[in-house]
Structure 1
Amino acid sequence: MKAAIWHQAKDIRVEEVSLKPHKETEVVVRVAWAGICGSDLHEYLEGPIFIPVDHKDSLTGGQAPLALGHEFSGVVQAIGNKVTKFQVGDHVSINPTLTYGKSSDNIDIYDGYNFIGLGCDGGLAELVNVPEANLYHLPNDFSLKLAATIEPTAVAVQAIKEGALRFGQTVAIFGAGPIGVLIAAAAKAAGATKIIAVDLSITRLKKALELGATDIINPAESDPLEQINQLVPGGVDVSFEVAGVQPTFEQAISATRPRGKMVIVAIYGHPIQFNPMQLTNTGVQLTTTIAYSREAFKQTVALVSQKQINTAPVITKEISLTNIVDEGFKALTTDKSQAKILIKLSGE
């Protein structure tokens, strides 16, 4: 089978590989569609970050070189002899988060985690082995193309939960990449009345409006903090930092009302510095999120498959696996008009 194999930074190759034998508790998924995540892009540009290179990952047993891809959907092709909840032909969404499972079912990622497609072989391949516990049934009449957007949407849904957003509250999102615009969509579904997106790309800002933002701000044209204060005097209830750079980190805190919440969603490629007094002087509560709970993923499957969150506008391009480097990874580094690039595998 063909797969996009990560060897090192700037070295991803589409190769012919053999699928490892699946375990008795695993399902073989024939991948229909897969997305390129910001985490994949970080691994391409400056990895390894999550990918184990000089050792086997203690949780997954995986080690580079490995197949990337943790945003994918597909159809069950084979099942292990201890699989009880899935049958050949089922349409499935995949929660790629793997944990030790020591904590509760809903909040278990912080007892140690890695991801299918980062810690072991993933879904940028024609076939992939997935533990039964990481699969969710999809209606057979629901688009598997849209189902490939469930995983990044779950990141956005978890961010909304971490911010404890309530109906009628206000939001500022710093960074209108794929996760940023999906946070706008999730905030709209959660009942936010003001959803302000901040980004330097007018194309991305327009995409944020399409997915749910009520207002957009380009820092190249005006001071974002002044603009936010005009829109929401006193600051927003919840801010989301999705850009992963120091200026937006500081702006997100400053844009938040006293005792409001600021949620870090971005993956930071490099350390930043900030003065904790910026928080102390206003009582802004700082929290972070990585991935999602099982409960949040299950809820996102329902929200997307029942079309309560419309993720279709986040898809900006469809490409073949063969062209994933030039038309996928390289395009995402140079073309800010791109949000979610999907790779067509079986295309079902």
Structure 2
Amino acid sequence: MKKGDRVTVEPIFRNPESPFITTGEYNLSEPLGFVGLTSNGGFAKYVVAEDYMVHKMPDAMTFEQGAIVEPAAVAAYAIQRSGMIMGDTVLIAGAGPIGLLTVQVAVATGASQIFVSDLSENKLKKAKEVGATHTFDARDQDIPQKIRKMTGNGVDIFIDAAGAQASFDTGVDSLRNGGTAVLVALFGKKVTHDALNQTLRELTIIGTAAYRNIFPQVIALISSGKLPVEKLVTSVIS
């Protein structure tokens, strides 16, 4: 990197003494810290980022797109960990920034049906705009039954970007036998879980901590137009 390069920052601090660095699982090194959370971030007058955090932006990429690489990486990593393949069906709980970006990544990956649940009508409208095929009010008690009707036996993948007992339960109940749940949201409270149900239905439940080894692919997807993240920019602050 040289002075004047346009870059986007992958803000995870890596503890050089952690055994997880040598395996490439640097997002699991402890203590876990981020620029902007455990140190000054992009709103400070000056920010120091470690050399390993910095990714060069292609000339065609705008700063607006560059700003969304980090949250888009959260979504892309969640879909990557889910093992989604072309034609899969997915339920995404929560239509905030991460949920909406996950919709876009699911579209780019070739999901055949994308269901989204949220409490906000505006957010669900936005989800439809960026590629959701069906949306549900999260208060609807019949989401799993409706999804089963539309998919035959439930979704292949559930992504929890809401992080509550209700979203977790609805998502697990909406999965097909042998399906996969990915927990992306930071749950504020403990959830109760029916482990027998998971065993008998052979469900996989995966936690994801931010991202790892995926920024270059996300930058390539955004700059190629396959991931039109700029559609999610609602306003630009000075």
Q: Which residue of 2 aligns with 1:305?
A: 223
Match of 2:152 among 233, 247, 260: 233
CA contact (8 A) 1:93 1:301 kept: no
Q: 1:218 to 1:93 in 2, by over 3 A?
A: same
Match of 2:162 among 234, 238, 243: 243
User: For residues 109 and 60 of structure 2, what CA distance do their matches in structure 1 show?
Assistant: 26
Could you report, residue by residue, the CA deviation over 1:170-207 in whole angstroms, capped at 9, with x for unpaired residues? 11101111101110100111111111111121111111
Q: CA deviation at 1:116?
A: 0.8
AA matched with 1:120: S
User: For residues 126 and 299 of structure 1, what CA distance do their matches in structure 2 show?
Assistant: 30
Q: Which residue of 2 aligns with 1:198?
A: 117
Match of 2:5 among 77, 87, 90: 90
Match of 1:149 among 68, 84, 89: 68
2:29 is the counterpart of 1:111: yes
CA contact (8 A) 1:155 1:179 kept: yes
SS of match in other structure, 1:291: coil
SS of match in other structure, 1:261: strand
Match of 1:274 among 188, 193, 198: 193
User: For residues 110 and 141 of structure 2, what CA distance do their matches in structure 1 show?
Assistant: 27
SS of match in other structure, 1:287: strand
Q: CA deviation at 1:238?
A: 0.6
Match of 1:163 among 82, 90, 94: 82
Q: 1:281 to 1:146 in 2, by over 3 A?
A: same
CA contact (8 A) 2:60 2:223 kept: no
AA matched with 1:90: D
Match of 2:234 among 302, 316, 322: 316
2:100 is the counterpart of 1:181: yes
Q: Which residue of 2 aligns with 1:257?
A: 176
User: For residues 141 and 126 of structure 1, what CA distance do their matches in structure 2 show?
Assistant: 26
Worse-superposed segment, 271-280 or 300-309:
271-280
Report the aligned-residue RMSD. Answer: 1.5
User: For residues 146 and 211 of structure 2, what CA distance do their matches in structure 1 show?
Assistant: 31
Q: Which residue of 2 aligns with 1:44?
A: none
Higher Cα radius of gyration: 1
Q: CA deviation at 1:221?
A: 5.3
Matched ranges for 1:56-95 at <5 A: 86-95=1-10
Q: CA deviation at 1:145?
A: 1.3
User: For residues 124 and 154 of structure 2, what CA distance do their matches in structure 1 show?
Assistant: 20
The count of aligned residue pairs is 234
User: For residues 153 and 24 of structure 2, what CA distance do their matches in structure 1 show?
Assistant: 35
User: For residues 164 and 221 of structure 1, what CA distance do their matches in structure 2 show?
Assistant: 28
Q: CA deviation at 1:106?
A: 3.6
Could you report, residue by residue, the CA deviation over 1:271-313 in whole angstroms, capped at 9, with x for unpaired residues? 22222223123111111101101x2122111111222101012
User: For residues 222 and 257 of structure 1, what CA distance do their matches in structure 2 show?
Assistant: 18
**TM-score when scaled to structure 2?**
0.93
Could you report, residue by residue, the CA deviation over 1:74-108 in whole angstroms, capped at 9, with x for unpaired residues? xxxxxxxxxxxx11111001000112243346422
Q: CA deviation at 1:257?
A: 0.7
User: For residues 212 and 284 of structure 1, what CA distance do their matches in structure 2 show?
Assistant: 26
SS of match in other structure, 1:173: strand
User: For residues 255 and 221 of structure 1, what CA distance do their matches in structure 2 show?
Assistant: 13
SS of match in other structure, 2:178: strand
SS of match in other structure, 2:234: strand
CA contact (8 A) 1:211 1:311 kept: no
CA contact (8 A) 1:90 1:140 kept: no
Which consecutive aligned stretches of 4+ in structure 1 deviate over 4 angstroms post-superposition?
none
